[in-house]
Structure 1
Amino acid sequence: MEFMPTIRFAGDLPGGVVLAMALAAAFAVMWYYARETRTMASPYSYLLPALRAAAVALVIFILAGPVWHRRQEIGTLGKVTFAIDTSASMSITDSTGSDASESRIRRATRLLVGTPEHPGLVDQLSETHDIEVIGFGAAAAVPLWSNRDEETLETALQLIAEDRRTNLASAVSAATVDLDVSGVQKQHDAIGNKPANNASDPANASEAENDTEPNRVRSAIVIMSEGRHNLGPSPVDAARRIGSSATQVMTLGMGSEAEPVDVGVSQVIRPDSVAADGRLSGKIILKQFGMTGKPLGMRIEHQNKTVWQHTVTPDTEGEIEVPYDFEVAPLVEATQQASVRGVSRDAVALDLRVVVDGAAASDSFVNDSGSAGNIMAENDSMPFRVAASIRDRRLLVLDGSSRWETRYLRNLFERDPAWRVDAVLYGPGTDIPNVTRGNQTGQFPPDAEAISQYDAIILGEVPPEQFKHADAALLRQFVSRGGGLIVVDGRYQRVRKLVETFLSDLIPVNYSGVDATIDGGKIVPTVTGGEQPMMLLRQSDNTDLSNVADMWSRLPQAQYVNQVEPQAGAEVWANTVQAGGKPTPWLVTRLFGAGRVFYFSSDQSWRWRYKLADELHARFWNQVLSAVMQPPYSASDSFVSLGTDRVEYAVGDSSLIRVRLQGPTGKPLGDATVDALLVTDDRVVATVALSVDDPSRGTYQGETQPLETGEYEVRIRASGFDSTALQATTPIWVGTPDHAELRRVGLDENAMKQIAQAGKGAYFHESSADQLLEQLKPLSSGSIIESDVLVWQSFYWFWVVIALLTAEWLLRKRAGLV
């Protein structure tokens, strides 16, 4: 196959610059020449200047060095795609590598580009194969170069390994079968034109069969990586799908299997919010290799001051969990001192940082090149943020009896100075046999304004006969606007009747079976639930419990649970499991509008207090309330209150911005045009138009576009207000460093071999790249012939110029100018 010839430029000056010079000179010549011919008849008046200008332009264009390039493919070419991993783990220099001064990604590009002494893989295949180079990391693979491009390979592969995740499946999925149909047809024609006696020859017949084999492998993808997959679907499954086509999956392992000596922070687990006078608890996932038995110091900093520190001596390599717990009141006080006058804050964003002091010990590691240095300095610390709520939160408890669960929950939060609790217990056997609706203590909230004063509602077994459709509508409105609802089921089937009559769309379960309840069992978090900070139940820093599931298995069992099934879209965070029995949902959750609903199929958590009092019970329920509620408005001034759903986001997330606006008299304004401004370095980088949420309350909300990495300040602009009047602002952070990519960076040969085996290919180490080359060569049965004609040095260009000048002279003579 011959492709359409192309023009390339080999001159010292860029082709565009020379073209501009040639056109400018041509117009100048035409303008000057036209003074002599403008009185002449057509076509002499314009043809003579045009011929002279064209000749001048061609002479000047020689400076660009035009080259006529031709590419011809003979036979059927095999296609080879080299996929280079650009994740952060490829920036590692291996102590056991052949050249420890080079990173993995530099060695990978050198294998492709080659050296003056040894040609690269691309050079050795470029005359017989169709070659493409792609890069992959966290996102979809992107093309970098192909041998059809005019750009040089070395220029195209100036890569930086910085992606925070590795998605090997994206590289595998980028492989495509690109057979040259015309080339295959030529082979078929050639086979068909062979003499009959040749076709009967077994050797020739075998060759013909192979050439016409429709599934013959004609392409391959070579994945150049250390094999640590931590994002997206399984690369083995993707390779298996590709391997079933006419494409092989080859893998080239980069680096050493030995983990480099390093210590760092892999992850910080913490709640999104905490009470301003409470304690911040969570855990740090610390990884270390080569530091076993050595003390490692850790600390958490706030405004460059240490607020927590701990020393741990690991006894095994890998990851260990280090719990932390400290007061946040001093941190809130220090943060508020920097607040703008006239701005009050209901929540303060605490900007914290974990630092591993022991990381300095790994700095003494000396690699094979004889150089010392921190192998992965970037994971020695990790920033994280938590919102500390200053405003007292309000909780409404609705139940039909003072059962043990309700009694303990009510007492728990009434004792907490950060909470205001209103309990409405009504129904037969209580002090309020028949519920009344109003704004007084012990009354059911009568309208949306009254119920909106609460941050969360605990709904128990209220009498269904005293529950109205208006009450259900209030609960839906409350949750959809950001409120938190916790449903605690019991043994009297009252919640079941509410679900079947009023709240089937709000409470995220359906009841199964005729029996209301069955025997309970151990509470076991699901995989999804085990990842939630709400489910952490650590007792102290020196606990010997190794994981969340082990902690939950030690809790007193639920005596009974209601038989339920999660509705579509709901998540089960924990089950109760009898010995050898079927798991039954214990904790089910779902988002509803801007709020969240938790459903508990049993009211037995009060049993956790046995011998432990509030140690586990109080901790868990405080975390439940923090998880179910929306953060409060974080900042307010005389006219506007402003809040976001979180203070920290991942790249690509959207932020929900909530605003309450009021006039000088304090009256809510529900008819203004309100925008949220995202500002960084005193520059507005995004504007979000907010829509009216509730005109009577003057509330607005809106959602940003997917956010990019950075630290932003959210400000508000509203019609009718001067820019200096709305002073309330709140910070958000996007793209906090995630060190999951650096948890393990040693070559995973087993994973690379599995991918290659699934893709019907083979695995090679970077030190055996020559063997890979021998596997790739048979993919092609054709060749590429490329030729260049230096047009600016050829006689064709000279004769065109001479022809233009000769034609001009003949026309001048005919016109009587000679």
Structure 2
Amino acid sequence: MNFFPSFILNFLATSQAKPEWNVSFEGLTPGWAFLLFLALALATVFAYWKFASAASTVRKGLMIFLRIAAALVLVTLLAKPVINLTVQNPVRQPLLVLLDGSESMKFKDRRDRTDDLKRAAIAAGEIENIGQNVSPDVKKQLSGISRQTLLEKLAANPKLDLWPRLEKQADLMFYQFGRSANRLPFSTEGPIQSKEVAEFFKGLNYTETATSLGESLRQVLQEPRPQPAGGVLLITDGANNSGSSPIEAAQIAKEQGVPLFIFGVGVTSPRDVRVREVTTQKLAFVNETLEVRAQVLSLGMDEGKVTALLESNGETLAEREVSIGGDSEQEVVFQFSPKTAGEIKLQVVIPLQGEEASKENNIGKVSVRVTDKKFRVLLIEQEPRWDFRYLLDYLQRDPRLEVKCVMINGEPGLDQFLQSPFLPGLPQTREEFFKSQVIILGDVSPSDLGIERMQTIAEWVEAGGGLIFQAGSNFNPRSYAGTPLEALLPIVPDTTSSKDSSAQRTPEPFPLQLSKSGETSLYLQMDPDPAENKRIWEAFQGVCWTAPVSRVKAGAEVLLVDPRPERSGRYGMQPVFAMQGYGAGKCVYFGTDETYRWRSRTGGKYYSILWGQIMQSLSLQLLEGASALTQLKSDRKQYAIGDNVVISGNAYTEGYEPLIIPTLDGTMKFEGNGKRDEQPFELHATEKNNFRSEFVARLAGNYRYTTTHDSEAVVQFEVIDPRLEQSQSALDEKLLKSMAEASGGRFFREENLAELPAMIAAKTATVASTTKLELFYSGWLLAALISFLSLEWMVRRLTQLK
């Protein structure tokens, strides 16, 4: 008779892990069982010593032992002991294999570095570790191998035997990804063979023009499946040029308990020069200097200099000398003045430098609309003051501006002079406000403006207008608290101080100070060189007064501050120049009325630059829409195929009242690649007179949207095939390592890829199998009880005891 039942023996025999066990009791508790046993043992000893005195000591001791042993067995049966056995058995989970399906996988990497060549040899099975040497024949064969071919050779490598080893540890589920992930059908009869996987890889297409690494990973992680994934094997070069953040997706994987095992394909420093990004403003003025910035990336190049060209329609507009060498990135700044109005397509070109990894990423493109249209500025002031005099003089001299001015308490008849900029009074209609691109509001009493005009100004800013608050000691900004203009102010005015103390000026001027944001802001940039720009600002003469301010509003940006300790508070130094967005427009606050002092040491040069940049930036908000009645625009001027195009804005009636209709009808025209098309396109009302619609760009070409409501409301943009995958030639090892670390996984190269199956096995989930052995049902205990009692009875008979 076996002590353990057969099913227990089978359970232990089939378990792959060492069992864990513990004892529990289903009858008497251990405490009560012990007390019962102790009582029986003491009673046995007492009875034998008192009533069996005639028996010899040996026989008496033997009988006591047998009786106590029987009591122990009896108490054990009453306690009903149970042995619980638990074994953690591994469970086969899915391993999600994500294969990069983008065009960058077709790259033929120049493996000039020894380690890169050895990695290719390991994948191809020519050597087994990175310490071995590569023969000349193998070097010739692998020096220009493509990433696609490398994966095929790795799959067929019998020495590594990667895929059969992985298949032993998990159920493999294959996906290929670009902008999104798609499940790949793969099945075999019996265990996976390396040759089958190699043939499977050869049948894959690498045609995706963009890679959404984070988006694809999120998609696969969110798919429902009966068994939780044990991990993700991500095979990629790390190119990520659209969609959400890969690091955030890796963090989601960690939250789900799914580690990322990432195999990086390619070389980290291919010999390449790349124009990574070209930026400029959306709208520029004829004969005004336009700045174009390009990021130039150099990888694995010899030290030297190249000439970067800014071109348009085959004409070179500007040249800059760029230093290249090693792995570096630098910004190249071009400047030129457009001579004619219209849409200009610009490109930054770096000539090919010998044998580069990619010949298609040396060009970066951007578009800009150039206008010769003047923009209207409305200057409103209560009474003459020095800042008004100098500012009006500048505004009248700027050829881009059409200036109108209102002096509320000015001399009568100012509007009667020849070519006078003055209006007879404040605008009486919404149209007079809405035809302006910029309004400069001086030290004006809100009672003279009136509630209705202030509400109109607020609506005009919300539609895209640019408003400048030019502070003064009488009204602006403290008197605007509680009015419709309060929400437009980027700051919260100090209304606790008395009017006299707020207007008090210092005997001597004190300098103003650029904030951290102000040091880099284009609004306050006097010179492209940061050090020179700071020097110029420090040379400006100080001011004797700044408007008291409680704090800056949340979301507003402070560019200039009053550094005096007595004006600082718990929110930091007092803001003097601040700005914030309001609807589609922008509001600027100038907290001093002494900007005219800045002309005293530098003349009008920097004064004109400052106000010119402010005016130009604010006017672009409305000029970009091309129509005063219908302020529509796309969120970008240039899109890539597959991008989401958003068109939005405000619409008004002929009297500039909000246009309240459910949809704004229009037409979308397309022209590109010899094709033309025209389709109706509607914008839908989102709130009040704001309209919005969006679509995914599928075809490359030029798009033009017009509304039936307003023929002047034209939105133009371009959709291009950017071939993003051709622009990134290097393996982004830093990104992939960060993703693996964030998920709790590991990053692999060819030299340690053989360790992957073991790591998958170590991460494999287990399921606990539990069974229990009820000892009180064992025949051995019953036999022991009978044996002890029988032996005791025999000894008692021999001793002639009852």
TM range (shorter): 0.5 to 0.7
Q: How big is the shift at 1:415?
A: 0.8
Is 2:528 the counterpart of 1:482? no
- Aligned counterparts, 1:72-151, within 5 A: 76-85=91-100, 92-96=107-111, 97=116, 98=120, 99-104=142-147, 107-108=150-151, 111=154, 114-115=155-156, 117=158, 121-126=162-167, 128-135=169-176, 141-145=180-184
Counterpart AA for 1:776: I
Change (3 A) 1:768 1:563: same
Aligned to 2:347: 353
SS of the residue corresponding to residue 360 of structure 2 reads: helix
1:249 to 235, 260, 273: 260
Secondary structure at the counterpart of residue 706 of structure 1: strand
Does residue 627 in structure 1 map to residue 638 in structure 2? no
Structural RMSD (CA): 5.0
Change (3 A) 1:670 1:770: closer
Paired with 1:179 and 1:729, the residues of 2 have a C-alpha distance of 49
Q: Which amino acid aligns with 2:344?
A: L
Instruction: From 687, 699, 706, give the equivalent of 2:695.
Output: 706
Q: In the alignment, which residue of structure 1 is the partner of 2:750?
A: 766
Q: 2:428 aligns with which of 446, 454, 457?
A: 446
Alpha carbons of 1:128 and 1:773: their partners in 2 closer, same or farther (altered >3 Å)? Answer: closer
Partner of 1:599: 589
Question: 8 Å contact 2:707–2:714 — kept in the other structure?
Answer: no
What TM-score, normalized by structure 1, do the two folds share?
0.62
Tell me which residue corresponds to 1:680.
671
Separation in structure 2 between the aligned mates of residue 325 and residue 382 of structure 1, nearest angstrom: 16
Whether the aligned pair in 2 keeps the contact of 1:267 and 1:738 (CA below 8 Å) is no
Q: Deviations over 1:282-308 (max 9, x none)?
A: 433323345565232122222222222
| Change beyond 3 A, Cα 1:733–1:531 | farther
Given that residues 490 and 562 in structure 1 are in contact (C-alpha distance below 8 angstroms), is that contact kept between their aligned partners in structure 2? Answer: no
- Following the alignment from structure 1 to structure 2, what is the Cα–Cα distance between the partners of residues 170 and 557? 56
Equivalent in the alignment of 1:539? 527
Contact 2:665/2:680 (<8 A) preserved: no
Q: Which residue of 1 aligns with 2:201?
A: 154
Structure 2 residue aligned with 1:260: 270
Letter matched to residue 286 of structure 1? V
User: Do the aligned residues in 1 keep the contact of 2:110 with 2:271 (CA within 8 Å)?
Assistant: no
Deviation at 1:704, TM superposition (A): 4.1
Q: Distance in 2 between matches of 1:82 and 1:547?
A: 54
Structure 1 gaps, min length 5: 1-73, 182-216, 333-347, 366-373, 663-668, 694-699, 784-818
Q: Following the alignment from structure 2 to structure 1, what is the Cα–Cα distance between the partners of residues 701 and 398? A: 34
Q: Does 1:504 align with 2:486?
A: yes
Contact 1:491 1:562 in 2 (8 A): no
Alignment of 1:601-616 (within 5 A): 601-602=591-592, 609=599, 611-616=601-606
1:289-300 aligned at under 5 Å gives the runs 289-291=299-301, 293-300=303-310
Matched, 1:378 2:369: no
The residue number in structure 2 matching 1:523 is: 514
Structure-to-structure mapping, 1:178-193, within 5 angstroms? none
Query: Where do 5+ consecutive residues of structure 2 fail to align?
Result: 1-88, 121-141, 190-196, 768-802
Does residue 787 of structure 2 align to residue 776 of structure 1?
A: no
**Higher mean C-alpha deviation, range 459-468 or range 485-494:** 485-494
- Within 1, Cα distance between the matches of 2:743 and 2:143? 31
Kindly state the Cα deviation for residue 648 of structure 1 after the two structures are TM-superposed: 0.9
Deviations 1:659-718 (A, max 9, x none): 9999xxxxxx9999852223224533642236899xxxxxx9854423516332425474
Q: Could you tell me whether the CA contact under 8 Å between 2:378 and 2:439 is conserved in 1?
A: yes
Q: CA deviation at 1:162?
A: 3.1
The code of the aligned residue for 1:683 comes to: R
Counterpart Cα distance in 2 of 1:149 and 1:273: 59
Offset of 1:389 from its aligned partner? 1.6
1:458: Cα distance to partner? 1.5
- Which has the greater radius of gyration? 2
Tell me how far 1:142 sits from its aligned partner: 2.0
If the length of structure 2 is used for normalisation, what is the TM-score?
0.63
1:125 maps to amino acid: L
The number of residue pairs the alignment matches comes to: 610
Q: Say which SS state the counterpart of residue 488 (structure 2) adopts.
A: coil
Q: What CA distance in whole angstroms lies between the structure 1 residues aligned with 2:537 and 2:149?
A: 48
1:274 counterpart (284, 293, 296): 284
d(CA) in 1 for partners of 2:536, 2:303: 26
Q: Deviations over 1:562-591 (max 9, x none)?
A: 5354556x4426363849973555555444
Counterpart residue type for residue 252 of structure 1: F
Residues 135 and 491 (structure 1 numbering): CA distance in 2 closer, same or farther, change over 3 Å? Answer: farther
Q: Which of 671, 689, 692 matches 2:682?
A: 689
Question: Does the CA-based 8 Å contact 1:228-1:748 persist in structure 2?
Answer: no
Alignment map for 1:274-353 (pairs within 5 Å): 274-291=284-301, 293-313=303-323, 318-329=328-339, 331-332=340-341, 348-353=342-347
Q: Amino acid of the residue matched to residue 144 of structure 2?
A: S
Distance in 2 between the 1:316 and 1:769 partners?
Answer: 28
Asked if structure 1 preserves the Cα contact closer than 8 Å seen for 2:361 and 2:728, the reply is no
Question: 1:463 deviation in Å?
Answer: 1.8
The question of whether the paired residues in 2 share the 8 Å contact of 1:490 and 1:602 is answered with yes
Q: What are the superposed Cα offsets for residues 463-510 of structure 1, whole Å, 9 maximum, x if unpaired?
A: 233221011122123223332222233455522321432323333443
Task: Supply the AA of the counterpart residue of 1:251.
Answer: I
Question: Shift of the alpha carbon at 1:219?
Answer: 0.9
Cα deviation, residue 129, structure 1: 1.6
CA gap of 1:746–1:588, structure 2 versus 1, over 3 A, is farther
Contact persistence 1:398–1:460 (CA under 8 A): yes
Please give the alpha-carbon distance, in whole angstroms, between the structure 2 residues aligned to 1:730 and 1:754. 41
Is this contact kept in 2: 1:447–1:474, CA < 8 A? no
- Between the aligned partners of 1:509 and 1:238, the Cα distance in structure 2 is 38
Q: Deviations over 1:759-809 (max 9, x none)?
A: 3323321342211122123445899xxxxxxxxxxxxxxxxxxxxxxxxxx
Give the counterpart letter for 2:669 in structure 1: L
Amino acid of the structure 2 residue aligned with 1:221 = V
Instruction: Give the equivalent residue in structure 2 for 1:654.
Output: 646
The Cα shift of 1:277 comes to: 3.1
Post-superposition offset of 1:324: 2.0
Distance in 2 separating the partners of 1:168 and 1:432: 67
* Letter of the 2:172 counterpart: I
The structure-2 alpha-carbon separation of the partners of 1:135 and 1:327, relative to structure 1 and needing over 3 Å to count, comes to same
1:572·1:585 contact (CA, 8 Å) conserved in 2?
no
Opposite residue 299 of structure 1, the aligned amino acid is L
Instruction: Work out the CA distance in 1 between the residues paired with 2:763 and 2:523.
Output: 54
1:586, 1:602 within 8 Å by CA — same for their partners in 2? yes
Question: Which of 525, 549, 557 is matched with 1:563 structurally?
Answer: 549
Deviations 1:609-641 (A, max 9, x none): 5654455443343333333233548889xxx99
SS in 1 for 2:357: coil
**Contact 2:526/2:610 (<8 A) preserved:** no
Q: C-alpha displacement at 1:752, in angstroms?
A: 3.7
1: distance between equivalents of 2:347 and 2:579? 31
